[in-house]
Amino acid sequence: MSADMLLNLCYNQYFHVYLVFFIQGSVKAQLERKCEVGNMEEIIDTLDLRNVMDRNIEDLSGGELQRFAIAMVCIQNADV
């Protein structure tokens, strides 16, 4: 295993543990709590999260968790 692959694996594991530890509850509850822009439904459909809305965050796979994290950023106001 190359150093880049190992670093990527460690980063992904850290990301997963961090999100699960700090953000608890259902996907739907967290997205509704953070929605500031009013585009939640569009983001849910774009990121194909509709089928995981009632699941707890700790039950998401790595890919689902990454899409959830992207959605959380996309539904909030941000200073760019």
Of the two residues 66 and 54, the one the predictor is more confident about is 54
- Give the model's confidence band at 79: pLDDT under 50 very low, under 70 low, under 90 confident, else very high: confident
Using alpha carbons only, how large is the chain's radius of gyration in Å? 14
Of the two residues 10 and 68, the one the predictor is more confident about is 68
> What per-residue confidence (pLDDT) applies to 4?
54
Q: Specify the pTM.
A: 0.76
Residue indicated by tokens 């500031």: 36
Q: How far is CA 11 from CA 15, 16, 62, in A?
A: 6, 9, 12
Tokens of 34: 């953070």
Tokens of 33: 């709590």
